[in-house]
A = this chain, B = another copy of it.
């Protein structure tokens, strides 16, 4: 038999995705892999067992101790990680900075773990970029949430009883999620302004029919993300942004720095200057929120402004989030499978840069530093 891949049901509360969809199950089978798929694991994403059964072995409980590869969406639980054997390969969103105990466990058990969030943003790895695929879903969904929570119409509406003007939407952060939020709000007919500290954002924002708010602050960072701002830069940013936010019907904030707390961009004072009934959808809630008042996982009303801090947004569109994530995983893993066997080529930049633990070592520098700081 070929490489044995285990895919368990995700047990993180509210997680509806799964690491394998029926389409990629077929692709792994074609590569000669033996996939052990937990019964019902696709149910949250509306994929019934019957859609998988031609390609996988359906099992009540995947025997993780026998798996060569474990495919996950969320980080493994200590129980899952504790069953993996030496040399086993784990692939998933591992969020190492939040799960140091898991990192130690994976290191000590000599598991080779790859964190999908570490896949380098190089052209060749675009098809493996799960952060981007899931962020595009989050951005779309954030715009829908803003429209759903809004007390106003997003599109212009011309009726016999007068004209409704289009809503004004401000999108903060024009990364993958932000651009998709802009595109979706524009589709819905809103007037969209976007803010990003990376000058490169301007062209992309404008290509979507939105306008870039210019604060004069530029802060291009590495890997396509922004760097942190100085105090003076923050002051300028705040002043200009506050004026635009005060006029907005909805604000969608998406500014995140990987592995770090989200930057605080929208202050309580800025919220209090907003229109009655205005909405903030804070996609950065997962890492603390871009708005000072956001409570992750909650929807609250502050002085007649609705502040929504959703968590795990991609899981809310589980069919396509699963399909795209599973394809990212397949594109990442399949080059390592030849003649049905797993072979890791450490010369490969993608493999070398995505690894979290291997052969009893933590290979990701920032995580290693965090572990040293902690102990």
Contacts and interface: CB of A to CB of B under 8 A. Distances in A.
Contacts of A331: 161
B159 A324 contact: yes
Contacts of A132: 159-160
B46 A304 contact: yes
B151 A319 contact: yes
A184 B184 CA distance: 12
Contact of A46 (B145, B151, B327): B151
Given A45-B151, A150-B317, A151-B319, A157 B145 contact: no
A153 interface: yes
Contacts of A328: 161
Interface stretch (A76-84, A133-141, A251-259, A338-346): A133-141
A323 interface: yes
Given A155-B140, A189-B187, A46 B276 contact: yes
Given A48-B276, A147-B144, A188-B187, A320 B162 contact: no
A contact residues, range:
35 or more
A87 B48 CA distance: 65
Contacts of A140: 153, 155, 157
Contact of A137 (B45, B46, B126, B153): B153
A127 interface: yes
Contacts of A184: 155, 188
B133 A161 contact: yes
B151 A317 contact: yes
Contacts of A157: 136, 140, 320
Contact of A162 (B147, B277, B324): B324
Nearest to A187: B187
Interface in A292-328: 304, 317-320, 323-324, 327-328
Contacts of A54: none
A101 to B, nearest CB: 31
Given A148-B145, A187-B155, A188-B188, A129 B160 contact: yes
B277 A319 contact: yes
Contacts of A145: 148
Most chain B CB inside 10 Å of its own CB: which residue of A137, A304, A319 = A319
A177 to B, nearest CB: 13
A151 to B, nearest CB: 4
Given A126-B161, A151-B317, 4 more contacts: A127-B161, A132-B160, A153-B317, A187-B187
The 3 A-B pairs of least Cβ separation, nearest first, read A46-B277, A126-B160, A46-B276
